C-alpha cells in the first residue's frame, strides 16, 4: 500500500548529493582560509573584519511553484522564498539583513509579477530584511506560458563570538522543537503526487519565518544555544548535520499536522521523516535556559516545547512511539 | 529591411522597467538608512562597519542558455554567469569575494551539471572569487528535458572612502573603453532571431571578466576613477546610469566585433547601441591617469583605449561617424 517515495516522485537525492560533493571537492581555491565553519553548512560565512562575518545562502521553493500555478495563487510563494534562506541564516547564529530575488518567466504579466513581489515583501517584513535587489528575467522560449522560477539569496551578519559551529553540542542537552506551518517548501514533488488536488490549498500554506524570534532568543541566550537546525530537504536528518558525534532521542514530539497524516497514507513513516518536517520546523539545542527559549518563541507566536535530548548515539534519531531510528546515511 | 527590434524578439523592456519601479516604490522599509548609494545601481551596498560596506547583486545569463542548449556546449555558460554579477560589483568600487549559484533543471544529468559547474569555477578563478555555495534544484514538471536555468549571486566588500557614487563625474573627464569579448550575455533573444544557426558559436563566446584588472586599477587609481559602467542590458545607455547630469562624446570607438556587423544587417544602428555592447564591455570615467589605467587593463590582457570624453549634455551619448545621439529614455 505505502509505496510512494521521494525518489519515485522524480527527485534523485543521491545524484544531487554526489554532484554537490564533486563541487565541494573542486571549489577548494585560495581564499578559503577566511571562511568560518557554521553548523550544518546552512550558510557560507566569510570574515570581513576581525570579529565580523558575512553569512550568505541561496535556495528556491522547489515544485511548490507548480502548486501555486495549479491554484492560481501567487501572493504567498514569495514568503516561502524568503523563509527558505532567512531560516538557514539563523542556524549559524547570523542576523539576516538583505534579501535578493531572481525571478524568471516566459512573458511578464503585471498581475502575476505584482503578486509574487507582494509575497517577497511580506516575507522580508516578517524576517526584518531589506529587499536589496533582484533580477527579473523575461525568457521567451525557456519557460512555458504561466510558468516561472524563483531563487532567493540572503545575506546576514554574525560576530565571531556568536557563531554557531555545532561543536558545543553534547549528550544530555535539551532539544527544543518549534512548530512548522505545514509542509513548508520541501518534498512537494512527492506530496503533489499523493495529495488529491482539492486539498492542495493545504500544500500552499506559507513557510513559517522564525527570524525575529530566533534573533531575539540569540540576543538573550546565545551562550546557551549550541545548535539550530532548519528542517528542510532531508527532513529530520537535518538535525544530524549539526554535529556528527551525537544523536537525538525524541520523547515529546510536536503535534503532526493533518497534511502529513494525509501524505502518510501513501508513504512509509520512515520515508516521511526523511522527506518532510512532520510538524518540526526548527530544532534548537540548548545547554541551559530551554524554558526561557521556548517562551521567547511563544511570545513571537511560534508554538514550541522541549521535544527530547541529545544522545551519544552518533548519527541516530530515536523516536518514541514509532519505535524506529533514523540514520544519517 | 532593418526591422528587427528587441521588443519584437519577445522582450518587453518597458514592462520590466515598470515592474522594477513598482518594486522600488514598495520596498522602502526601515533599515534603508544603512544602505549606501553606488553609481548606476549596479549593486546594493549595506554598511556593516563604520568604513566597510557589503555590496551584493544578482543576475542570470538570459537566453544565452538556449544557445548553449542548441550547440550542446555547457562548459562556458558558467563563466558568463559569474561575469554578469562580478563585473557589476566592480562598478561601485567593490572587490568581489564570494559567488553563489542557483541551478534548476528538470532532471539532473552528471555530464551537463559537471560542465556547468566547470564553467562557474573557471569564472570564479578569473574573478578571484570563492564559490561559497549554491542550490541545485531538480524540478521535474517545470523544466523541459535538457532545459535548465541559472542565477548568480555575488558579494563583495568596499571601503566607504573607495565607494564609487558617480557624483564626481564632470564634463571634460576622459572616457576609457575596455573591449568586450563579443555579445556577452545580453540581447540574445534578438541575436538568436537574426543570426543564422551555423554562426551561433560566435554567440556563445564567454563574457569577459574584468575583475582582476579593475581591482588592480582601483587599488592604484581609485582617486582618479569617477565611474565604471558594465555595458549589459540596455547597451550603451548603461553609461548614462552613472550620473544624470552628464553625457558622453565618443570620438575614438573601439573596433566593433564581426558578430555585431552580422546582427546589424537586420537591426537598426540605434537599436543596436541600445541593446548590445558593440565592442565596449566596460566604460571607465577617469579625471586623471587615464593612460595608466588603460595600461593596467592591457597588462591583464584586456584591450583598452580612451574613446571619448564626458560632456555637459545630460542624458546624451553622441557618437562620431554615425551622426546620431542616444538618449537615456
Residues B121 and B237 in one domain: no
Name the region of B146 (left: φ>0; alpha: ψ -120 to 50; beta: rest).
Answer: left
Residues A141 and A194 in one domain: no
Contact B77, B64 (CB under 8 A): yes
pLDDT (tens digit per residue) in B247-271 = 999 999 999 999 999 999 999 999 9
- Whether residue B136 lies within 8 A of chain A, CB to CB, comes out as yes
- The whole-model pTM stands at 0.94
Q: Please report whether residue B169 resides in a domain.
A: no
pLDDT (tens digit per residue) in B139-189 = 878 888 889 999 999 999 999 999 999 999 999 999 999 999 999 999 998
Residues B107 and B39 in one domain: yes
The DSSP code sequence of B82-116 is HHHHHHHHHTTT-EEEEEEEEEEESS--HHHHHHH
pLDDT (tens digit per residue) in A252-290 = 999 999 999 999 999 999 999 999 999 999 999 999 999
Expressed in angstroms, the distance from the first to the final Cα of chain B is: 25
Q: How many domains does chain A have?
A: 2
- Whether residue A117 lies within 8 A of chain B, CB to CB, comes out as yes
φ, ψ of residue B250 in degrees (nearest 5):
-105, 115
Residues A65 and A155 in one domain: yes
A291 to chain B, closest Cα gap in Å: 32
In this predicted structure, the answer to whether residue B32 has a pLDDT above a threshold of 70 is no
Q: CB B135 to CB A58 under 8 A?
A: yes
What dihedral do alpha carbons A49, A50, A52, A55 form, nearest 10°? 80
Task: Give the nearest partner residue to A29 out of B29, B65, B124, using CB atoms.
Answer: B124
Q: Please report whether residue B229 resides in a domain.
A: yes
Residues B186 and B146 in one domain: no
Q: Please report whether residue A3 resides in a domain.
A: no
B123 to chain A, closest Cα gap in Å: 12
Q: Please report whether residue A48 resides in a domain.
A: yes
Q: Please report whether residue B4 resides in a domain.
A: no
Residues of A in contact with B117 (CB under 8 A): 19, 22-23, 26
Q: How far is CA A131 from CA A46, B29, B39, B116, in A?
A: 21, 8, 18, 29
Integer Cα distance of B296 and B303 in angstroms = 10
CA atoms within 13 A on the CB side of A123: 32
The domain boundary residue, chosen from B162, B186, B217: B162
In this predicted structure, the answer to whether residue B102 has a pLDDT above a threshold of 90 is yes
Of the residues A98, A113, A151, the best mutation for testing chain B's interface (the one with the most B CB atoms within 10 Å of its CB) is A151
**Which of B179, B62, B140, B265 is CA-nearest to residue A189?**
B140
Of the residues B9, B21, B24, B27, the best mutation for testing chain A's interface (the one with the most A CB atoms within 10 Å of its CB) is B27
Which residues fall within 8 angstroms of residue A206, CB to CB, at 6 or more apart? A76, A77, A79, A80, A83, A119, A123, A181
In this predicted structure, the answer to whether residue A139 has a pLDDT above a threshold of 90 is no
Integer Cα distance of B142 and B164 in angstroms = 40
Residues A135 and A26 in one domain: yes
pLDDT (tens digit per residue) in A37-96 = 999 999 999 999 999 999 999 999 999 999 999 999 999 999 999 999 999 999 999 999
Q: What is the residue range of B243's domain?
A: 174-327
Q: Which helix (H) or strand (E) covers residue B325, if one does?
A: strand B324-327
Q: Please report whether residue B167 resides in a domain.
A: no
CATH number, domain at B236?
3.90.650.10
Integer Cα distance of B144 and A4 in angstroms = 23
User: What is the overall mean pLDDT for chain B?
Assistant: 93
Q: CB A110 to CB B19 under 8 A?
A: yes
Residues B87 and B33 in one domain: yes
In this predicted structure, the answer to whether residue B30 has a pLDDT above a threshold of 60 is no
- Whether residue B24 lies within 8 A of chain A, CB to CB, comes out as no
Q: CB B140 to CB A102 under 8 A?
A: no
- Whether residue B98 lies within 8 A of chain A, CB to CB, comes out as yes
Residues 31-90 of B with CB under 8 A from A: 31-32, 35, 43-44, 46, 48-49, 52, 54, 56-60, 62-63, 65-66
Residues B30 and B95 in one domain: yes
| Strand partners for B155 | B56, B98
Residues A116 and A259 in one domain: no
Residues B145 and B107 in one domain: yes
Amino acid at each position: 500500500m505505502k509505496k510512494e517515495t521521494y525518489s519515485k516522485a522524480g527527485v534523485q537525492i543521491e545524484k544531487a548529493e554526489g554532484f554537490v560533493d564533486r563541487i565541494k571537492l573542486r571549489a577548494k581555491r585560495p581564499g578559503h582560509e577566511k571562511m568560518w565553519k557554521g553548523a550544518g553548512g546552512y550558510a557560507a560565512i566569510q570574515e570581513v573584519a576581525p570579529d565580523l562575518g558575512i553569512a550568505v545562502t541561496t535556495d528556491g521553493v522547489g515544485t511548490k511553484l507548480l502548486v501555486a500555478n495549479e491554484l492560481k495563487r501567487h501572493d504567498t510563494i514569495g514568503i516561502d522564498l524568503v523563509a527558505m534562506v532567512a531560516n538557514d541564516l539563523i542556524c549559524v547564529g547570523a542576523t539576516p539583513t538583505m534579501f535578493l530575488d531572481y525571478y524568471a518567466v516566459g512573458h511578464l504579466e503585471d498581475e502575476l509579477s505584482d503578486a509574487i513581489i507582494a509575497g517577497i515583501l511580506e516575507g522580508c517584513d516578517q524576517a526584518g530584511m531589506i529587499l536589496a535587489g533582484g533580477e527579473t528575467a523575461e525568457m521567451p522560449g525557456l519557460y512555458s506560458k504561466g510558468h516561472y522560477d524563483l531563487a532567493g539569496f540572503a545575506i546576514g551578519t554574525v560576530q565571531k563570538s556568536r557563531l554557531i559551529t555545532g561543536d558545543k553540542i553534547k549528550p544530555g542537552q535539551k532539544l527544543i522543537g518549534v512548530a512548522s506551518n505545514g509542509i513548508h517548501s520541501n518534498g512537494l514533488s512527492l506530496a503533489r503526487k499523493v495529495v488529491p488536488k482539492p486539498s492542495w490549498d493545504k500544500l500552499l500554506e506559507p513557510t513559517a519565518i522564525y527570524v525575529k524570534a530566533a534573533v531575539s532568543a540569540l540576543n538573550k541566550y546565545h551562550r546557551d544555544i549550541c545548535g539550530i537546525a532548519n528542517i528542510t530537504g532531508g527532513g529530520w536528518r537535518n538535525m544530524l548535520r549539526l554535529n556528527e558525534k551525537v544523536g537525538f532521542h525524541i520523547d515529546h514530539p510536536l503535534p503532526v499536522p493533518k497534511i502529513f497524516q494525509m501524505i502518510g497514507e501513501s508513504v512509509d513513516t520512515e520515508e516521511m521523516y526523511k522527506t518532510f518536517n512532520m510538524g518540526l520546523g526548527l530544532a534548537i539545542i540548548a545547554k541551559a535556559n530551554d524554558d526561557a527559549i521556548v517562551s521567547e518563541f511563544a511570545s513571537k507566536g511560534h508554538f514550541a516545547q522541549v521535544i527530547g535530548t541529545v544522545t551519544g548515539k552518533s548519527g541516530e534519531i530515536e523516536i518514541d512511539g514509532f519505535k524506529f531510528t533514523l540514520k544519517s546515511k
